[in-house]
Amino acid sequence: MSEKRTVLIADDDPGNIEILNDILEEEYDVLFAMEGPRALELVREQMPDLVILDVMMPGLSGYEVCRELKKDTKTAHIPVIFLTSLDNDQGEAYGLELGAIDYIGKPIRPPIVKVRVRNHMELKKSRDLLEVLSTIDSLTGVANRNKFHQKFDESLKLARRESLNLALLLLDLDHFKDINDTYGHAVGDEVLKAFAHCSSHACRETDMVARLGGDEFAILLVNPQDRDTAAKVAGKLLETLEKPIEIQGNRIQIGASIGIAMYPADGEDVDILTKKADAALYEAKASGRNRHI
């Protein structure tokens, strides 16, 4: 699979497409469209890293394509550069107000195109990295609270639409304060990392593990077959934790209490499912800890 970033060129002039392709193909994978509707379709299918749009195109103008891209949350983040022979401040301002980041004038000047595309690609790369970092718990590397709630909302909407099951597991480490008090917070941090690692390995790639804060974690299981399937995931994790882990010369036993709630059996919205899972977690702790309910 190519590691190059992707540029979509949308222009009804084959000569312009050929020139731009010659300029960009060494550094990027290049897609092209000759009509506005096809450009819109390709962006939604391929999700390129940057789009170069001719202002005047058949079907939909570049302005109209840009407007549609910026209205869609899935494509709004993709940078758009307009390509135009028009020397019109009002038109340029209009394009920038629609959400474009730059203009390239005709006739096309290869050094200018190359530098502008490269600069905007670097900016997008930085923004993409910041977006990823904003969704990750910096200590454990799993999803953070914000990312979890976003995934929970999206998965719940999908479950309603497709009549799927959804399982929410809330997890607390047992006696984590004792670990911090006995071994220090540096060891406690390593315990949290180890627990996040074990939790991730107990799940499928389609599921999500998140750290909600402190020693509180959550697992979202997307379309498990039934409650028994969710219970098996919880049981697999507890079984993994039976073996003590070595941290800074210390053999430390980790335990966890787990509460499970199922959509739609236990509720049909985020708040109810969270309350049900939290109640089950409390029951697991009250029943002796290191178990799932």
In this predicted structure, the answer to whether residue 178 has a pLDDT above a threshold of 50 is: yes
Q: What are phi and psi of 146, to 5 degrees?
A: -65, -45
Among candidate residues 189, 215, 226, 271, the one labeled active-site is 215
- Give the pLDDT confidence score for residue 185 in this predicted structure: 94
Taking residues 269-288, report their average pLDDT: 96
Q: How far is CA 86 from CA 92, 106, 210, in A?
A: 9, 8, 51
Dihedral sign computed on CA atoms, order 236, 237, 242, 245 = positive
Instruction: Kindly give the pairing relationship between strand 256-263 and strand 166-173.
Output: antiparallel
- Give the pLDDT confidence score for residue 132 in this predicted structure: 82
The end-to-end CA distance of the chain, in Å, is 44
Taking residues 66-76, report their average pLDDT: 94
Largest CA distance in the chain: 76
Q: Burial code of 27-46, b = ≥16 C-beta within 10 A, e = fewer?
A: ebbbbbbbbbebbbebbeee
Pairwise CA distance, residues 83 & 100, whole Å: 11
Q: What is the pTM of this model?
A: 0.69
Per the listing, tokens 């590397």 go with 141
- Give the pLDDT confidence score for residue 88 in this predicted structure: 66
In this predicted structure, the answer to whether residue 60 has a pLDDT above a threshold of 50 is: yes
The pLDDT-based confidence of 246 (bands split at 50, 70, 90) is: very high
CA angle, residues 191, 142, 130, in degrees to nearest 5: 130
Taking residues 68-75, report their average pLDDT: 93
**C-beta separation of 83 from 16 below 8 A:** yes
Query: Any alpha helices (H) in 25-103, and if so which ranges?
Result: 36-46, 62-71, 89-98
- Give the pLDDT confidence score for residue 95 in this predicted structure: 86
- Give the pLDDT confidence score for residue 276 in this predicted structure: 97
- Give the pLDDT confidence score for residue 168 in this predicted structure: 98
Domains of the chain: 5-133 (3.40.50.2300), 145-286 (3.30.70.270)
In this predicted structure, the answer to whether residue 4 has a pLDDT above a threshold of 90 is: no
Q: How far is CA 60 from CA 4, 11, 72, 117, 293, in A?
A: 28, 11, 16, 23, 56
Pairwise CA distance, residues 293 & 260, whole Å: 6
Pairwise CA distance, residues 104 & 92, whole Å: 10
Pairwise CA distance, residues 217 & 173, whole Å: 8
Q: What are phi and psi of 283, to 5 degrees?
A: -65, -40
Judge whether 215 counts as a catalytic residue: yes
Query: Which amino acid would we find at residue 112?
Result: I
Q: Give the 3-state secondary structure percentages of the chain, helix then strand then coil, rounded to 5.
A: 50, 20, 30
Phi-psi region of 223 (alpha: psi -120 to 50; beta: other; left: phi over 0): left
- Give the pLDDT confidence score for residue 1 in this predicted structure: 43
Pairwise CA distance, residues 275 & 194, whole Å: 27
Q: What are phi and psi of 196, to 5 degrees?
A: -60, -40
Q: What is the mean pLDDT of the chain?
A: 93
Tokens of 59: 């079907």
The pLDDT-based confidence of 86 (bands split at 50, 70, 90) is: low
List, for residues 209-245, the tens digit of each pLDDT value. Answer: 999 999 999 999 999 999 999 999 999 999 999 999 9
In this predicted structure, the answer to whether residue 89 has a pLDDT above a threshold of 70 is: no
3-state secondary structure of 11: coil
Taking residues 147-176, report their average pLDDT: 95
List, for residues 91-102, the tens digit of each pLDDT value. Answer: 778 888 999 999
